[in-house]
Structure 1
Amino acid sequence: MNTPKAYGYAPVVFNPQDYAAKRSPEDAAFADAYSGLQDEFAALDVLLQARKSAGLTQAEVAERMGVKPSALARIEMSLASRKHSPSLETLRKYAQACGKSLTIGIQ
C-alpha cells in the first residue's frame, strides 16, 4: 500500500491504536489523555459499525436523518474531537436511519 509515486512521494500509514500502544508506556500524560477519550472512540466506533452493517454511506444516512452530508460528517467527527457531543435525539435519529435502535448502558 505504501507504493512510491514517480515523483518520490509515498503515503505514510498511521494507525492511532498502534501509536497509542507504543507511546503510552513512556508518556504518562499521553496515556491519561488517551484513556480519557475511550468513551468517545467507542461511541464513534458504534456509529460507524451501525452505518457499515446497514450498508449505507454518510450521504444516505444524512438523507434519512434529514440533514446535509456535511452535518452528518460533523456528527461522526464530533465524538473524536470532543468539540461537540451529539444529543441523544441526534444519536437516536442516526440509529433509526441505520435501521437500529439506540441503547445506552453503564458498566
Structure 2
Amino acid sequence: MEDLKYQPVRYDVAAAIKKDLENEEFRKEYEALEPKYALIRELLEARKNSGMTQEAVASKIGTTKSAISRLEGGSQHAPSIATLRKYAEAVGCELVIRLEPKKKPADA
C-alpha cells in the first residue's frame, strides 16, 4: 500500500467540450441547455452579490436550504415565476424576463 500514491488525472473540461462541439448532435443538445445554465449563473451571481448563504435566502423566502440548492443546481423541476420572483426579492434583485429575437445564421 505504501507504493499507492495520489496521482490526479488531468482533464481539461473546456478542451473536451470544444472537441465534443464538433459533433453536430452534441452541439445541438449543448446549445439547447444554454437557457437553463444562464438562469443558474444568474441565480448564483445574484446570491453571491447579495452576500447571502443558501440558508439565509431560504429563511427569507420561507423554504429550506435544500430547496434553494435544488433551484440553484438546475434540478429537473422548472421553477415557477413566483419562486423566481421571491428569490430575486430575497437577494435584493428584480426579476426581469424578456424574449429576444433569434440570431440569424451568418450565411443567411
- Coarse TM-score class (shorter-chain normalised): 0.7 to 0.9
What 5-or-longer segments of structure 2 have no aligned partner?
101-108
Specify which structure has the higher proportion of helix: 1
- Aligned residue number for residue 36 of structure 1: 32
Q: 2:63 aligns with which of 53, 67, 70?
A: 67
Change (3 A) 1:105 1:69: same
**Per-residue deviation, 1:56:** 1.0
Instruction: Please tell me whether residue 20 in structure 1 is matched to residue 20 in structure 2.
Output: no
Aligned residues: 98
Find the aligned partners of 1:29 and 1:52 in 2 and give their Cα distance: 34
Q: Percent identity?
A: 38
The answer as to whether partners of 1:20 and 1:34 remain within 8 angstroms in 2 is no
- Aligned residue number for residue 51 of structure 2: 55
Find the aligned partners of 1:94 and 1:61 in 2 and give their Cα distance: 7
Q: Alpha-carbon deviations, 1:30-69, whole Å to 9, x = none?
A: 1111000000011111111100111111111111111110
Instruction: Look at both structures and tell me which one has the larger radius of gyration over its CA atoms.
Output: 2
Find the aligned partners of 1:15 and 1:59 in 2 and give their Cα distance: 33
Find the aligned partners of 2:19 and 2:41 in 1 and give their Cα distance: 21
- Aligned residue number for residue 99 of structure 1: 92
**Per-residue deviation, 1:10:** 4.9
RMSD: 2.2
